[in-house]
Structure 1
Amino acid sequence: MFKKSVQNFSGKICEVEIGTGEKAIKLGGESVLPFYSFDGNVGNTPKVGMEISDIVPEDWSDALKDLYKDVISDPVAWAKFVEEKYAPDFICLKLDSADPNGLDKAPEEVAKGAKAVAEAIKTPLVVAGTGNHDKDAKLFEKVAQELDGHNVLLLAAVEDNYKTVAAAGAMAYNHKIGAESSVDINLAKQMNILVNQLGVANDKIVDNAGSAAAGYGYEYVVSTLDRIRLAALGQNDKTLQVPIITPVSFDTWKVKETVELEADSPQWGSQEDRGIAMEIATATGVLASGSNAVILRHPKSVETIKNFVNALLG
């Protein structure tokens, strides 16, 4: 009689909670590889979030802007619309208005806007910065203060600003911290160690180990996620035993396949369909390699990925 072998790991991914109340979500908690329910405890179901911006995102495709045309100029209305119509597991508010290369709004003003969004919804909030490390340090300090009590995830702390972001976010105001690194297991480990050494425990850390659109150095992303998970579970490496979030939409809507207009390349078909396909292809790969949460833009991508997760975990 055939007896199926079971792969047992000594490690377990830490559980991290974001949000408050009945809609709060938990990431991580697994002690097996992604979707390996036949081997043991798969932890919390992977979560799917939707990205919005605190200003009209001019670089978004016309199809996306058209979807949100009635609310796109008001982040509070946009967040409520997304919550009610698409019911994502969380909402990612990108603070584009603070970008020094754009409007360069003051951290105090931007943080008050983020607070208005947090107070208008019950869905957990992930707050993404500008990518400018100096500005983000000042920004997240104010955001952490204004959003006290909302238990948000601040995305993200990097080597240049982690002391400020982690101290304000996790230690002063008890939020969760995204530790960001650039598609390398050693860099991911190093960031977590640095944040741990400040006194922030693993149950307040979510890794952003890097992202790329499918076909654009993507194999490095999925192989890095694989290595991180195998080290965390198989080698019981406690510095890597934290959930992973991948901001898929940040990359997938910038590549040629999604920005090329139909008028310029009619043989490529619908620009909107290309964007959705790229987002879905990228999200499925990172989830299968170890990501516990993905950030997406298009409602069809969200619906498809939710169905994908439910089909695999039943």
Structure 2
Amino acid sequence: MFKKSAQKFSGKICEVEIGTGEKAIKLGGENVLSFYSFDGNVGNTQKVGMEISDIFPEEWIDALKELYKDVCNDPVAWAKFVEEKYAPDFICLKLDSADPNGLNRSAEECAATAKAVAEAVKTPLVIAGTGNHDKDAKLFEKVAQAVDGHNVLLLAAVEDNYKTVAAAGAMAYNHKIGAESSVDINLAKQMNILVNQLGVVNEKIVDNIGCAAAGYGYEYVISTLDRIRLAALGQDDKTLQIPIITPVSFDAWKVKESIELEKDSPQWGCQEERGIGMEVATASGVLVSGSNAVILRHPKSVETIKKFINELLA
């Protein structure tokens, strides 16, 4: 009779907790590849979060704006609506208003918004910046202070600002920080080492190794995730034994398949369904390749990916 041998790894991904109270979540903890329950301990269930913005989301497609039309001018109301109606594992508040190329709101204003949202919901918070590294350094310094006690994940620290973000977020206020790199195992490792050297332990770090929408250099994302997980588990590389979060929605809703209007390309079918398909395809791939959490935008995507995770773990 055939008896399949289990693949044992010497390494283990550390656990990182986000949030407080009964809704707090843990990422990581596995010592096998994603969903390989037949080989060993799969750790904590992969988590699904929902993206909201601190301003009206002008760039979002009409179907999404219609879905959130009663709440999307008020981030507190939006966060409460999402928490009650869709029950995501976490909420990702994107501080779009701080963007220097947009409204350029002050770090203090954005910190007050983040504090109001953190106090309004019990769901753990991931707080994303603008992608402008100088502004994000100032932003996360103020945000970390404002949401003291809420144990949020600040997304993200990069090589240009990690000293400020890590010092304020993880060391001064005991939050978790996202270490962001650009789809390269060596860059991911380097970022983790730099943050570790400041005195921030792995249990306070979540990696964002980058993302791409399915079909847009996506195979490079998948292969990088695979390489990171195999190095962390198989080679017992401590610098890579960190949970991974992937902000899928940031990329999946920017590509032409998701934003092309039906009137311009009727042969492509429903714009909303296309966007959901792109988001689901992207999220499912990164999850099975090693990501511990994904950020999504459409409720249907959240529902589908939650079901996907549950059935793979059943």
Q: TM-score of the superposition, structure 1-length normalised? A: 1.00
Q: Deviations over 1:12-64 (max 9, x none)?
A: 00000000000000000000000000000000000000000000010000000
Amino acid paired to 1:24: A
Distance 2:238 2:275 in 1: 37
Task: Give the match for residue 312 of structure 1.
Answer: 312
Distance 2:75 2:105 in 1: 15
Distance 1:222 1:153 in 2: 23
Partner-residue secondary structure (3-state), 1:63: helix
Amino acid paired to 1:143: V
Distance 1:9 1:254 in 2: 38
Task: Give the match for residue 229 of structure 1.
Answer: 229
Q: Deviations over 1:74-102 (max 9, x none)?
A: 00000000000000000000000000000
Task: Give the match for residue 262 of structure 1.
Answer: 262
Distance 2:227 2:276 in 1: 28
Task: Give the match for residue 44 of structure 2.
Answer: 44
Task: Give the match for residue 286 of structure 1.
Answer: 286
Task: Give the match for residue 81 of structure 1.
Answer: 81
Q: TM-score of the superposition, structure 2-length normalised? A: 1.00
Task: Give the match for residue 165 of structure 2.
Answer: 165
Distance 2:129 2:258 in 1: 23
Distance 1:220 1:67 in 2: 33
Task: Give the match for residue 103 of structure 2.
Answer: 103
Task: Give the match for residue 16 of structure 2.
Answer: 16
Distance 1:302 1:57 in 2: 19
Distance 2:125 2:133 in 1: 21
RMSD: 0.3
Task: Give the match for residue 2 of structure 2.
Answer: 2
Task: Give the match for residue 252 of structure 1.
Answer: 252
Q: Deviations over 1:264-294 (max 9, x none)?
A: 0000000000000000000000000000000
| Identity rate, percent | 86
Q: State whether structure 2 residue 120 is matched by structure 1 residue 120.
A: yes
CA drift at 1:3: 1.3
Partner-residue secondary structure (3-state), 2:84: helix
Q: Which 5+ residue runs of structure 1 have no aligned equivalent?
A: none
Distance 2:110 2:256 in 1: 31
Q: Which 5+ residue runs of structure 2 have no aligned equivalent?
A: none
Distance 1:198 1:140 in 2: 17
Distance 1:64 1:155 in 2: 23
Task: Give the match for residue 219 of structure 2.
Answer: 219
CA drift at 1:187: 0.1
Partner-residue secondary structure (3-state), 1:220: helix
Task: Give the match for residue 192 of structure 1.
Answer: 192
Distance 1:52 1:2 in 2: 50
Distance 1:197 1:144 in 2: 20
Distance 2:3 2:220 in 1: 35
Aligned residues: 314
Distance 1:26 1:100 in 2: 33
